[in-house]
Structure 1
Amino acid sequence: MNILIAPDSFKESLEAIDVCHAIKSGFSEVFPNADYTLLPMADGGEGTSAVLSYVLNGRWKEVTVYDPLMRLITAKYLLLPDATAVIEIAEACGLHLLKLEERNPVITSSFGVGELIKDALHEGARRIIIGLGGSATNDAGVGMLTALGMALYDQQGEPLTQGGGQLACLQRIDNTAFNPNILNTVFEVACDVTNPLCGPLGASAIFGPQKGASPEQVEHLDKSLSHFATVCHQHGNEDYQDIAGAGAAGGLGYTLMTFCGAQLQSGFDTVAEAVGLSQHIANADLVITGEGKLDAQSSMGKVTGGISQRAQLSHTPVIAICGSVDGLKPAQTTQFDVVMPTIQKVDSIDNVLKGAYDNIETTAANIAAAIRLGQNIK
């Protein structure tokens, strides 16, 4: 029996590869001779690079870059053997890099993201997968552009300073020194955010407050992004501001499309394509997936929902092992052949999280025992 184990991480308790090992350990108690394929998964957010490193044998590269407030830090990205680089923007401009009182999207910059891209190009990357998520910035990726050689000037002919608040002053864009390797590189952006660049559902209005923006700053940032898009269009660029995902990561989605020719797609789809998920499913007799909490959002671009959809296409049975099941209607659980929560007893949340590995292992062993029982019943 060929068993594919392809879970997401269990947030706050286990990485995806640890979940794989727990499920395999439990199943092996009943089916020790089965062929197991461990394929940890992610949806383009935090942990995506680690998943691809495990599956595709990449190497990590550490780089000194500027953080959102232009302080030097060490960030890393992943280089794969096929000249692909995987960059999570949060490494360089993540909200987690700032203290609560330091959050201010009017001045925070994506400059460090450009430095990571520049280094990857220097390393010979010809395909760059970028995970958008967790940013502290609202500068439409202008910091990234300047790190890559783009020059942006205000009405007085002075270079713009860093931060989204400066975009309202933009008058002219000069791409003379823009890194020429950009045009010869394929950019794939893993993005689960569908917000446009501006407006009530735009980057500033929806994500600005959590990045520290006041209502007045949100209004100013929204107008600044709109002005930036207008100037970009005046300089002969296509207008991508209303495309779903343009508002991701404070407008980085828009700028990656506009200046890097990036394709925005579901984070899960990006990872699934990179690891050859469909072929793995086609080769399996059984697929086991899982996540910390299975709920109504699981079918909306998340790992478990995406795997179940692909498994159904190949008529492969799929089991979901999860920490808990929350708010699912019966029709929503039919996308899996079995849905099984792992919590073994009533306990504190801290103990449940600490015991995640053992709980998953026990649940997997019980599921395997039920399968064996079914095989033996005449």
Structure 2
Amino acid sequence: MRILIVPDSFKGSLTAVAASETMAGAVLAEMPDAEVFRIPLADGGEGTVDALVAARGGRTVPIEVTGPLGERVQTYYGVIGETTAVVEAANLCGLTMVPPERRNPLHTTSRALGEAILAALDQSSSRIIVGLGGSAVNDGGIGMLSALGAVFLDGAGHKLSGYGRDLPELDRIDLSGLDSRLKRCEITVACDVRNPLVGEEGATFVYGPQKGASAEMCRTLDAAMAAYAAKLEACFADMGMGAAAGGAPLRDAPGAGAAGGLGFALLSLGAKLVPGAQLIEEQTGLRAAARAADWVLTGEGRSDGQTLYGKLPLHVARLAREEGTRAVLISGSLGPGSERLLSEFAGCFSIVEQPSSLQDCMEQAESLLYRCTRSVARLIAQAAGR
């Protein structure tokens, strides 16, 4: 029997890679002769590098970058194939890298993402995949662009360092020093956010508060972001980059507001934004693997009615059904609306065995996931007459 294991991460407790290893061990404990295949999943957020490296047999490259608060941090990016690099905002300028009491989008920068892209270019990467989920920044990408050679100046001609607080001070942009290799590099962005850059549905008003922005700060940053966007688009237009002549402004494009405006900055560089699930499917051969499997086991930290709105397990279930394969959902917990998932999955299971605190469940996630998956595997084996 062929079992395909394709979990998302169990946020705060297990990475997708760790979850897939645990689930595989549980299946083999019940069906030692089964063929088990693992494809850890990610949607552009935390774990994107690890998931693609694991699925494609790639490698990670350690780097030191400027963290979201300006400190030097040790992190890594991935390399898959000969010339494709994978970077993610979550481990470069991620929200989890900033202590809750220090979260303030005026004082964070996306510079690390630019530094990681430079490191990949230095290693002759001709394609870069960028995961944008889970960032701590709201700087419109000026930190990233600064690292890539752009210069941002205030009214007195002083160079700005690339933090959110610099947006209201911005007067002039000089892109003449932008790394020329970017024009020859294909950039693909995994992004499930559809927000424009500015306005009530934009980056600042929708996501700024979770990054520490007050209501007044949101108003100031959104106005400054709009002025910055106009300047940056004009500069890129002069270089023959960005929106096509006569096209809609990139600031209004779906996804421009991703990661505090990094989506807009990357679009300006000529990047293509694609749904995270689509990118994972293309990069990992998920469809072919589902076609060859007898059962697909997927999961996530919490499943509820929101899972029906495009989360990765739903994508897996529908893809599996298209290929004539049954999918089972194993989640950390099942919340309100989860009964609606039964129309998509052959079965939905929670790993929680008894009333427990969230902290206890997260600490015991590995053993709970193992036991639940083993029970599911036993059921599958008995149904197959083994």
TM-score (norm 1): 0.92
Taking the aligned partners of 1:373 and 1:175, their CA distance within structure 2 comes to 64
Measure how far apart 1:290 and its partner are: 1.2
For residues 84-135 of structure 1, the C-alpha deviation after alignment (integer angstroms, 9 at most, x for no partner) is 1111123332233333443332242212221111111001111111111222
Measure how far apart 1:329 and its partner are: 5.5
Q: Give runs of aligned pairs for residues 72-91 of structure 1, distance below 5 A.
A: 72-91=72-91
Alignment correspondent of 2:316:
307
- Is 1:98 the equivalent of 2:98? yes
Alignment correspondent of 1:203:
203
* 3-state SS in 1 of match to 2:197: coil
Measure how far apart 1:228 and its partner are: 1.1
Residue in structure 1 matching 2:347, options 331, 334, 338: 338
For residues 132-156 of structure 1, the C-alpha deviation after alignment (integer angstroms, 9 at most, x for no partner) is 1222221110111111111233444
Does the aligned pair in 2 maintain the 1:164–1:225 contact within 8 Å? no
Alignment correspondent of 2:364:
355
Alignment correspondent of 2:39:
39
- Is 1:249 the equivalent of 2:259? yes
Farther-moved stretch of structure 1 (206-215 vs 222-231): 206-215
Residue in structure 2 matching 1:319, options 315, 318, 328: 328
Alignment correspondent of 1:164:
164
Paired-residue identity, % = 36
Farther-moved stretch of structure 1 (367-376 vs 137-146): 367-376
Does the aligned pair in 2 maintain the 1:164–1:224 contact within 8 Å? no
Taking the aligned partners of 1:9 and 1:77, their CA distance within structure 2 comes to 18
Taking the aligned partners of 1:30 and 1:100, their CA distance within structure 2 comes to 43
Pairwise CA RMSD of aligned residues?
2.2
- How many residue pairs get aligned? The number is 376
Farther-moved stretch of structure 1 (265-274 vs 141-150): 265-274
Instruction: Name the amino acid aligned to 1:273.
Output: E
TM-score (norm 2): 0.90
Taking the aligned partners of 1:71 and 1:376, their CA distance within structure 2 comes to 58
Alignment correspondent of 2:124:
124
Taking the aligned partners of 2:147 and 2:178, their CA distance within structure 1 comes to 9
Q: Give runs of aligned pairs for residues 1-378 of structure 1, distance below 5 A.
A: 1-235=1-235, 236=237, 237-238=242-243, 239-258=249-268, 260-328=269-337, 330-376=339-385
Unmatched tracts of structure 2, length 5 or more: 244-248
Measure how far apart 1:363 and its partner are: 2.5
Measure how far apart 1:185 and its partner are: 0.9
Taking the aligned partners of 1:209 and 1:351, their CA distance within structure 2 comes to 29
* 3-state SS in 2 of match to 1:173: strand
Going from structure 1 to structure 2, the CA distance change for 1:72 and 1:362 (only over 3 Å counts) comes to closer
Going from structure 1 to structure 2, the CA distance change for 1:156 and 1:288 (only over 3 Å counts) comes to same
Unmatched tracts of structure 1, length 5 or more: none
Instruction: Name the amino acid aligned to 1:356.
Output: A
Going from structure 1 to structure 2, the CA distance change for 1:216 and 1:189 (only over 3 Å counts) comes to same
For residues 19-63 of structure 1, the C-alpha deviation after alignment (integer angstroms, 9 at most, x for no partner) is 223333333344221211111212221111112222222222222
Farther-moved stretch of structure 1 (134-143 vs 245-254): 134-143
Instruction: Name the amino acid aligned to 2:203.
Output: A
Going from structure 1 to structure 2, the CA distance change for 1:373 and 1:191 (only over 3 Å counts) comes to same
For residues 56-84 of structure 1, the C-alpha deviation after alignment (integer angstroms, 9 at most, x for no partner) is 22222222222233332223211223311
Taking the aligned partners of 1:350 and 1:165, their CA distance within structure 2 comes to 36
Taking the aligned partners of 1:7 and 1:85, their CA distance within structure 2 comes to 23
* 3-state SS in 2 of match to 1:109: coil
Taking the aligned partners of 1:351 and 1:261, their CA distance within structure 2 comes to 46
Going from structure 1 to structure 2, the CA distance change for 1:156 and 1:368 (only over 3 Å counts) comes to closer
Going from structure 1 to structure 2, the CA distance change for 1:165 and 1:352 (only over 3 Å counts) comes to closer
Farther-moved stretch of structure 1 (204-213 vs 223-232): 204-213
Measure how far apart 1:305 and its partner are: 0.8
Does the aligned pair in 1 maintain the 2:45–2:89 contact within 8 Å? no
Instruction: Name the amino acid aligned to 1:252.
Output: L
Measure how far apart 1:173 and its partner are: 2.8
For residues 212-231 of structure 1, the C-alpha deviation after alignment (integer angstroms, 9 at most, x for no partner) is 22222211110111001111
Instruction: Name the amino acid aligned to 1:184.
Output: R
Alignment correspondent of 2:246:
none
For residues 139-196 of structure 1, the C-alpha deviation after alignment (integer angstroms, 9 at most, x for no partner) is 1101111111112334444433432333344343322221111011111111122211
Measure how far apart 1:11 and its partner are: 2.4
Does the aligned pair in 1 maintain the 2:304–2:338 contact within 8 Å? no
Taking the aligned partners of 1:220 and 1:80, their CA distance within structure 2 comes to 41
Measure how far apart 1:330 and its partner are: 4.1
Does the aligned pair in 2 maintain the 1:43–1:301 contact within 8 Å? no
Measure how far apart 1:284 and its partner are: 1.1
Taking the aligned partners of 1:160 and 1:144, their CA distance within structure 2 comes to 13
